[in-house]
Structure 1
Amino acid sequence: MAIYAIWNNKGGVGKSYLTFQLASEYARQNPSKKVLVADLCPQANSSSMLLGGMTEGEKILTQIHTSKPRCTISGYIEDRILSPYVSPQSGASYITNVAQYNNRVPSNLYLVVGDERLEMQASKVTGATFPGPQEAWRIVHLWVRDLIADILTSWNNEDSCVFIDCNPSFSIYTELALTAADRLIIPFSADGSSKRAVKAVLSLVYGRVRHQGDPQSDYYLNSDRYKMALPSIYMYVGNRLTQMNHSSASAFKTVVNEISEEIWSVWQSSPQSFYIHPNGAPTPNSKRTFKAMFQYEVNDANTASVVSGALGIPIASLTAGPKNVAGRSIKVNQSQLEKQVPNITQLVQQIE
């Protein structure tokens, strides 16, 4: 069983879209496993896509958010606020079988639904880290790991895989997600701000000092203080990149290469921060073998990508032809699907 956090310290890199595609395709390729998505982003975009997309998914989100008890991540966090230092072991009460609402996704895919109320609860969660008992910070940062453990126990610890969609900002919920995860997937887009964001990830999580005299994050320092394992970098994914066979190709390649160089430099100084995969594979011994293991690029399928998320249809299951999106007929071309479907299929084959 592996727990993957999908995070970059920047909005707009498509982390929720990638979570939706990865989890759906992983569930399709592994029908004997249970697959869980924990949506820790207050925007709940991955939940919306999984539950049916822009129209149907939003209706279902409203239905779930207005039901009592509130079967969402916020409902579980409320349990933990009431019992911050002793787990109520209630996590299994907060899972939703996605296929119950969206028959386009596999039946072995489950979700802890995202919730905008997380924003209002954040100060209470942070407040629970102090004064409290001596190890309050460590106990609170294990809340999401406790949630996942509760769910796995209810599944009799069957073979499973977990994907956590994180808040873009380095909020308390991002910290809880990273503590719960054992592997980190870093999505990025081919622009200069993504390069800065990747540097921020490496600094905030792994304590990499960018400039002499820079402080390290409390998260990194406290994780070290309490001997809590950090997630290992599993892969960094150029997400929905414009295909590099037109006039802009060199510009995109330049930015991707710059980001690659930044992460390569971390490997050279801290290879222990990475997860060698697949299990038993030889450790990379050159920049070429490093990139082959840790770097991946997903092409943008343009209209097909938008339709996939808007209708809650995983890209590998989407077919060409006209689709009704918010009352408008939108045509999906087979050529668009061919840009991205093989990328997603092959990427998931690299996830253990």
Structure 2
Amino acid sequence: MPKTYAFWNNKGGTGKTSLCFQALTFYANQRPDERVLAIDVCPQANLSELLFGGLTGQGSDVLLARQNEPTRRTIGGYFELRMPNPYTAPQIDPHAYIATPAEYNTAIPENIDIIAGDPILELQSNAVSTLANNQIPGTSPWIKVVDWLRDLIESLGEEYDTIFIDANPSFSMYTQIALASADRLVLPVMADDSSRRAIQNAFSLIYGLKLPSAIYTQYAFATKLQAEGRALPKVHVIAKNRLTQYVVSASAYTAVLRSIDADVKTLIAAYPEMFSAKETADVMVEIRDFQTAGVVSFARGCPFYAQKPGRMDVMGKRVRVKGEYLQNCVDSIQQLVDEL
């Protein structure tokens, strides 16, 4: 199996998709001999739109065209294939669901492919959950369903070296399918108290820590996955995003960051098997505010390293990207990519 990174946080708005987009494009650009696959397991499909060209490059039109083909060429189309016989892996042609973003967006490295996201995942969610929770003697419907994405990855053999998964900010069944196929977790957080709680929630959902009652243990993701002899994904990076929407004093901001560090240090000491590193410094990465550079990058579907400073037109408006700010963005993402 290739190295597989899932970008996920149960809390929305933590910059998960933006970090996944920048990290995977930086990673692929710096490793042209590797094949990289992005899998967008999020109904919003924002990662797909970015890779296909963003707002100004008609990325949404490319995505919509793939969703509207007779067989949806998306992750939702693959799930449609699995639903009639959910517990038996069919003969899969994975390339039916794979696109090469560079064919639509020249800013994207040619060694990146993608299985695009699809809003139909929300419609499929209840049906998939029902299939997973059926009671069938002699088999485990839950593991059969949770392995849908793993089956697809295995059907690709050694075609890809690294996989990046953008997972939905939820813990729905399709999110569990995404996380069960990953071996490393990138957890973006904000510098606020709600993100401190989000870290705790993430460890409860994935690893079954500090559940409110023992009654939940038998239903926990960790319990069911480990019962099948399967390993849980390890926390590889916790990315602290610094966004200017938090108008707080520097001292208060620093205090929150330090408290997050302290929480993670305690978790590593108590549960080292849940992390891929042994020291807090090897897990934590700080990401600077992207500011205008981020607005332009995501509107154009253009990675920071390929972006130029100066004034440019974005949807009829002239905006200016300062070279210093752009370099700060490049340096921040590089710190994250250096950990992958």
TM-score bracket, shorter-length normalisation: over 0.9
User: Equivalents in 1 of 2:241, 2:153: separation in Å?
Assistant: 27
Partner of 2:193: 192
User: Which deviates further from its counterpart, 290-299 or 235-244?
Assistant: 235-244
Runs of 4+ in 1 over 6 A off after TM superposition: none
Letter in 1 for 2:93: S
Q: Deviations over 1:4-49 (max 9, x none)?
A: 1111111100101011001101110110001111000100011111
User: Percent of pairs identical after alignment?
Assistant: 39
Say whether 1:143 aligns with 2:148: yes
Alignment partner, residue 281 of structure 1: none
Rounded to whole Å, the distance in 2 between the matches of 1:136 and 1:213 is 23
Tell me what 1:225 maps to.
227
| Offset at residue 212 of structure 1 (A) | 6.7
Q: Give the corresponding residue for 1:249.
A: 250
- Mapped partners of 2:13, 2:245: distance in 1: 18
Contact residue 308 and residue 314 of structure 1 kept, 8 A: yes
**Structure 2 residues not aligned, in runs of 5+:** none
Q: 1:345 matched to which residue of 2?
A: 334
More off after superposition, 161-170 vs 222-231: 222-231
TM-score, normalization by structure 1: 0.90
Per-residue displacement from partner, 1:153-201 (whole Å, max 9, x unpaired)? 2xxx145100110010111111111100001110011111111111100
- Counterpart for residue 296 of structure 2: 307
* 1:67, distance to aligned residue in structure 2 (A): 2.1
CA displacement, residues 226-249 of structure 1 (integer Å, 9 cap, x when unaligned):
2221101101001244599x9732
Offset at 1:252?
Answer: 1.9
Superposition map of 1:12-161 within 5 A: 12-55=13-56, 56-88=58-90, 89-129=92-132, 130-132=134-136, 134-150=139-155, 152-153=156-157, 157-158=158-159, 160-161=161-162
Query: Which residue identity lines up with residue 99 of structure 1 in the other structure?
Result: A
Distance 2:122 2:30 in 1: 35
Q: How many Å apart are 1:60 and its aligned residue?
A: 1.4
Runs (5+) with no aligned partner, structure 1:
277-283, 285-289
Q: Name the counterpart of 1:280.
A: none
CA contact (8 A) 1:27 1:106 kept: yes
Q: Are the equivalent residues in 2 in contact too, given 1:166–1:174 (CA < 8 A)?
A: yes
**AA of the residue aligned to 1:207:** G
Q: Which residue of 2 aligns with 1:287?
A: none
Partners of 1:213 and 1:249 lie apart in 2 by 41
The whole-number CA distance in structure 2 between the counterparts of 1:233 and 1:267 is 10
The DSSP-based 3-state class of the residue aligned with 1:138 is helix
State the SS of the aligned residue for 2:304: coil
Quick one: distance in 2 between partners of 1:111 and 1:247?
Answer: 39
| Rounded Cα–Cα distance in structure 2 between residues aligned with 1:158 and 1:94 | 15
What's the CA shift for 1:255?
Answer: 1.5
| Aligned residue identity for 2:99 | T
TM-score (norm 2): 0.93
Q: What is the number of residues matched between the two proteins?
A: 334
Question: Matched residues in 2 for 1:292 and 1:199: separation?
Answer: 19
Aligned position for 2:8: 7
Residues 1:209 and 2:210 aligned together: yes
Q: Distance in 1 between matches of 2:31 and 2:245?
A: 29
Alpha-carbon distance, 1:221 to partner: 2.0
